[in-house]
Structure 1
Amino acid sequence: MGLTVGYLSFATATLAYLGLAVFYLLRGRWGGHGPYLLAAALLTAAWGALSLLGHEVIPRYADASLLLQQLAMVAWVWLLWHIIASLEPHRTKFPRRLILGWAVVIALTAATGVLLPTHLVADPGWPQLPLVLGLAIAVLGLSLTETLYRGYQPVDRWGVKFLCLGTGGLFAYDVFLYGEGLLFGVLDPDFLEVRGFAQALVAPLFAINIRRSEMRHFALGLSQRLVFGSTVVIGAGLYLALMAASAFYVRSVGGAWGSAVQIVFLFAAVLLLSIILLSGAFRARLRRFLSHHVLQNKYDYRGEWLRFTERLARADSAETFDRRVVRALADIVDSPAGALWNVSETHLSIAAGWNVSSGSIVDLEIPPLVSFFGAHDQVWEIGETAALPDDAPSACHDLVAALRRIPDAWVLIPLRHQDRLVALLLLTRPRSGQGLSPEDSELLQVASHQAAGYLSEQRAAGALAEAREFEKFNQRYAFVTHDIKNLVSQLSLMIRNAEKHGDRPEFQRDMLATIQSAVGRMNHLMERLKTDVGAEEVDAVAVKPLIEQLIGEQQSNGIAVGFECPQALATLQLRADTRRVDAILRHLLQNAVDAAGSDGRIVVGLRREKSCAVIEVRDSGNGMDLQFIRNELFKPFRSTKRGGMGIGAFQCRAYARELGGDLEAISSVGAGTTMRVTLPVLREA
């Protein structure tokens, strides 16, 4: 063979992998896998360059070229193993396989890096060692390629498909090269010369995969059925035998370039076969053929059911649940697209679309639709040649006409749960172009019942969450309403006192301060209606000045309130929200005033217990019995006051607990009441 073929081959490989390395540095986003790809590409380029330099005088660099060639293939093995090993921590089923894999890869790397150079330099007498190592690396690489590809779910294999095609091509070529070498005792020089072309052919596949290089972790997928896999293997073998015969003919008539063209032809044929086998349409048509002519049942029901339930229950999926329902039912019949509509009282609202652009469907009479599909539990084919039964209402015909405007609309599946129509689901025609068989219809119908149950639970959970949001808002509204009532009571008392003391400057100053405080509190109440009750900021609250301010407001209204506080706690600060502490103490003081009356005695006490401040509001009123305290006092909407709302004690305890403290009542009939509040302390006084 002329030297021109070798020069072109090695030069092409060198340029291809140097370009791949540059492309990765400019565009790659492979994270921790990137350095392995870069090392493999650069080693392959170095092998091509060294082979190119030594091609004219073959013995000059033959040993170094062989060493670089096998080191480059070991680098590709490390790339594949690094990706596989990064997936394994997300699977807890195969720790032994992971340990064994590390041992094999490290052992083969050591053999290539230590034994092979020793053999090439010292020539210990085993000439087959380079051939055995080369074949072992190639077989391991093919095994890792297959493991990586099957380690992803079919829908997620787009991220590694071209990487596996590229590495599969590299290692498959070396299996032929070293396999023949072991058979005849020497490497075929034609295979060696054209190896650069083979390496360059797969470089674009790595470039494509770099653009899809956002690596994610997924669960292991299900294996192919035995019959399907065996058919694929037999068919691929027949195809390769035919291509080999064609390549032999090309070689026999190709002259000086015949051997090179034969090798490139065979490699291209294998690459084309790999692309065909990865085609979803091809697999769908093959399954259809097998189900009609070989298998007793069209479906592997256990496998289909496991795949269906796994997709619906996949909690880590980024898809919405509605879209997972569409895809789970579509996968059963190899449908490439679908859509789901919720059934409301007035129209069909779009819930999810998969490879389908569709919106809500309006201008339909929903009650007849619900009645018809509720009474007919089956899968409906809605193609151009399909027809609904004569008793179908006009609304059903209008719906089918609207759905037929979607390209390749095929079947309509009512999702019913407990005799209630939950949703309607559309699937487009399968990749194989098949019609709806009774076996398809029965399996889709059973699966739709399961999906409808999941959908109903999901809708119920959503409605419950929405109801809880309304409950939280209603609680905020009740709290605000109660606080407004207290403000009205305070302002009413101030107006009554103004008739007696309005001409006194001291009273006027107190009245103005009370009005300003009331305005600030009302503005804060309006803000609380817009935000969650737990949204206030926690800050430092100087508790003694706050209590003295509240006592002063009561005394300005002619009510005497005592205050017991050790001097050491004069600067005590709470880790709380000022407005909430103010609301708690203000309510407890007002309740004490109402219980004790104008002639009663009210005392506020402040002390410290470990990391908490204890505030007690004691009154000399009639008190409460233990049963009332346990069963009524802290329940919402329970009140013994005329005109009371029954919110105050419940609100105060809720505030105290949200701040990390608590509120308790200590009382007995005829002995007065002590309301004890505990709140966390910010720092030492």
Structure 2
Amino acid sequence: AIFLSLAVVLLATILFSGQMRSLLKVFLAKHFYKNKYDYRVEWLELTEKLSDKVQCEAQFEVVITALANTVEARKGLLWLRDGQTGYINVAAWNAEQIDVEESSDAALVRFLIDTGYVINLKDLKEHSDEYEGLMLPEWLRLLSQPWLIVPLQEQGSLIGFIVLADPLVKRSINWEDRDLLKTAAKQVANYLTVLMTSDALTEAKQFEVFTRMSAYMVHDLKNIASELEMIALNSRKHKTNPEFVEDAFETVNNAAADIKRLLEQLRNKRAQTEKKVRFDLAELVREVVDSKQDQLPQPKLDITCESCYVVVEKGRLSNVLGHLIDNAQQATQDDGVIDVSISRRDPMYVIEIRDSGHGMDAGFIRDRLFKPFDTTKGNAGMGIGMHESRDFVRSVGGDIRVRSELEKGSIISLQLPVLNEDEIQV
């Protein structure tokens, strides 16, 4: 009798409780009736929609339409998290965007975070208990016939939400519609997360490229300034020497050309590439060594090969050689020794720069010498000279090797590929 009484009470509770009746209906529909949707078809359609290749500005609209089509909604707006402060309307489909921000502490946002519930605005008044007395934001009044608010959650975090408008043909939303929307929303949230991460990486890459280009440009400007400063220092002593005047004008012309090239890089927002040409490597090395005779210790040159032809960017190679000799002069006392040699060791031409300077230990060569933006020169250096030099030489099939010993000096070997006979005749 007791069990019978309890059963009657339980049955009465189910029959007279609206919430219990709703739960019972959902349970029966889920387990005893045919599904409203073919989930395989719905999933394939959603995946195909999100895979469409569109312009960046249209990708957010694709997200809105993907969810809107699921329930035949005719309009939609997408809100995404903007930093830690709130959510902003970033896109609209068949509707006008609105310039409002929903705070991260707003009642709507807190409800979506806590419940992950798809809000049916048409049922909000009738079933207020299901929505815990949720107070809706004022900006919803600005929308035309808002219907559903779908949360976009990714790994437990609310990255945004979509507001959908009424369909053309009125329809109700049941448990199956909600399940489909929640599942589709998770896929959409994953898509948006990947999209935003990709955009962030692209932006970071652009900043990295700009920073690197700026550093290289400052490095080039420093070299130009050094050349002009050298002319100024020697002008008092040699200004009546015709050869000095001729060399000075040539240096100024080269500096003007280099500055013009740097300005062009700024306009194009990318490094300007120089055309590769065929030339005699021995002649270029001689020119660079001659240009360094005004600094101590004066480098000496030994050439053991003739007609050493290469095909590279001549200006860049000249800068690399100048940088390597500058480094040797800075590392060596004025009464020290710097020897520059060029020889052929098939399949490479080898330019060696030997100095009797303070040298480097193996750890420094391995960990820091070629690391960009790591300098031992304080504010006087950019830390990119050796990195840029090796990158350039490797790009043409060569390499830079370093041997050194503390307090005994260093040997920098620059290797460039030898041209075959057919290439030399071109």
What TM-score bracket applies, with the shorter chain setting the length? 0.7 to 0.9
Distance 1:680 1:534 in 2: 25
Cross-structure match for 2:11: none
8 Å Cα contact 1:606/1:613 also seen in 2: yes
Q: Which has the higher contact order (CA 8 A, sep 6+)?
A: 2
Report SS of the residue matched to 1:568.
coil
2:419 corresponds to 1:678: no
Q: 2:318 aligns with which of 577, 582, 596?
A: 582
- 5 Å-filtered alignment, 1:481-492, equals 481-492=218-229
- The structure-2 alpha-carbon separation of the partners of 1:434 and 1:578, relative to structure 1 and needing over 3 Å to count, comes to same
- 5 Å-filtered alignment, 1:247-286, equals none
8 Å Cα contact 2:70/2:181 also seen in 1: yes
Distance 1:664 1:516 in 2: 33
Q: 1:433 Cα deviation (Å)?
A: 2.5
Distance 1:489 1:451 in 2: 57
8 Å Cα contact 2:89/2:100 also seen in 1: no
8 Å Cα contact 2:68/2:75 also seen in 1: yes
Q: What one-letter code is carried by the residue in structure 2 that aligns with 1:328?
A: A
Cross-structure match for 1:329: 67
- 5 Å-filtered alignment, 1:372-391, equals 373-382=112-121
Q: 1:304 aligns with which of 34, 42, 66?
A: 42
2:362 corresponds to 1:626: yes
Distance 1:498 1:558 in 2: 18
The superposition leaves residues 349-394 of structure 1 with CA deviations (integer Å, 9 ceiling, x where unpaired) of 43463xx1433x2144544364454345222234599698686567
- The structure-2 alpha-carbon separation of the partners of 1:331 and 1:579, relative to structure 1 and needing over 3 Å to count, comes to same
Q: 1:651 Cα deviation (Å)?
A: 1.9
Gaps of 5+ in 2: 1-28
The superposition leaves residues 106-165 of structure 1 with CA deviations (integer Å, 9 ceiling, x where unpaired) of xxxxxxxxxxxxxxxxxxxxxxxxxxxxxxxxxxxxxxxxxxxxxxxxxxxxxxxxxxxx
Distance 1:605 1:529 in 2: 37
The superposition leaves residues 238-291 of structure 1 with CA deviations (integer Å, 9 ceiling, x where unpaired) of xxxxxxxxxxxxxxxxxxxxxxxxxxxxxxxxxxxxxxxxxxxxxxxxxxxxx9
Distance 1:393 1:604 in 2: 81
Cross-structure match for 2:138: 397
2:302 corresponds to 1:564: yes
- 5 Å-filtered alignment, 1:196-595, equals 295-312=33-50, 314=51, 317-318=53-54, 321-335=59-73, 337-344=75-82, 348-351=88-91, 353=93, 356-359=94-97, 361-367=98-104, 368=106, 370-371=109-110, 373-382=112-121, 392=134, 396-398=137-139, 400-404=140-144, 409-430=146-167, 432-531=169-268, 535-542=272-279, 543-557=281-295, 560-566=298-304, 568-569=306-307, 572-574=309-311, 576-595=312-331
Report SS of the residue matched to 1:633.
coil
Distance 2:242 2:160 in 1: 73
The superposition leaves residues 492-541 of structure 1 with CA deviations (integer Å, 9 ceiling, x where unpaired) of 34333334434433333323322332232233233334446665143205
- The structure-2 alpha-carbon separation of the partners of 1:392 and 1:522, relative to structure 1 and needing over 3 Å to count, comes to farther
Distance 1:352 1:545 in 2: 65
State the TM-score, normalized to the length of structure 1.
0.50
Distance 2:348 2:207 in 1: 34
- The structure-2 alpha-carbon separation of the partners of 1:603 and 1:514, relative to structure 1 and needing over 3 Å to count, comes to same
Q: 1:578 Cα deviation (Å)?
A: 2.9
- The structure-2 alpha-carbon separation of the partners of 1:564 and 1:455, relative to structure 1 and needing over 3 Å to count, comes to same
Cross-structure match for 1:67: none
Distance 1:362 1:636 in 2: 44
Gaps of 5+ in 1: 1-290
Q: What one-letter code is carried by the residue in structure 2 that aligns with 1:656?
A: V
Q: 1:603 Cα deviation (Å)?
A: 2.8
Q: 1:631 Cα deviation (Å)?
A: 1.3
Cα-Cα RMSD: 3.4
8 Å Cα contact 1:346/1:362 also seen in 2: no
Q: 1:588 Cα deviation (Å)?
A: 0.7
Report SS of the residue matched to 1:569.
coil
- The structure-2 alpha-carbon separation of the partners of 1:391 and 1:495, relative to structure 1 and needing over 3 Å to count, comes to farther
Percent identity reads 32
- 5 Å-filtered alignment, 1:132-211, equals none
- The structure-2 alpha-carbon separation of the partners of 1:604 and 1:526, relative to structure 1 and needing over 3 Å to count, comes to farther
Distance 1:462 1:295 in 2: 44
Distance 2:110 2:231 in 1: 65
The superposition leaves residues 620-671 of structure 1 with CA deviations (integer Å, 9 ceiling, x where unpaired) of 3232222221112111233333543322211212222334433221222344
Q: 1:456 Cα deviation (Å)?
A: 1.1
Q: What one-letter code is carried by the residue in structure 1 that aligns with 2:307?
A: L
Report SS of the residue matched to 1:677.
strand
Q: What one-letter code is carried by the residue in structure 1 that aligns with 2:366?
A: R
Distance 1:364 1:417 in 2: 21
Q: 1:584 Cα deviation (Å)?
A: 1.1
2:341 corresponds to 1:605: yes
8 Å Cα contact 1:487/1:518 also seen in 2: yes
Q: 1:675 Cα deviation (Å)?
A: 1.8
Q: 1:459 Cα deviation (Å)?
A: 0.6
Cross-structure match for 1:159: none
8 Å Cα contact 1:619/1:674 also seen in 2: yes
8 Å Cα contact 1:661/1:678 also seen in 2: yes
Cross-structure match for 2:350: 614
Q: Which has the higher helix share?
A: 1
Q: Which has the higher strand share?
A: 2
Distance 2:78 2:96 in 1: 10
The superposition leaves residues 410-450 of structure 1 with CA deviations (integer Å, 9 ceiling, x where unpaired) of 32212122444323323343455312223312321232123
Distance 1:496 1:553 in 2: 15
- The structure-2 alpha-carbon separation of the partners of 1:551 and 1:411, relative to structure 1 and needing over 3 Å to count, comes to same
- Range 590-599 or range 301-310, more displaced: 301-310
State the TM-score, normalized to the length of structure 2.
0.76
Number of equivalences: 382
Distance 1:365 1:328 in 2: 23
Report SS of the residue matched to 2:148.
strand
- Range 380-389 or range 657-666, more displaced: 380-389
Q: What one-letter code is carried by the residue in structure 2 that aligns with 1:628?
A: F
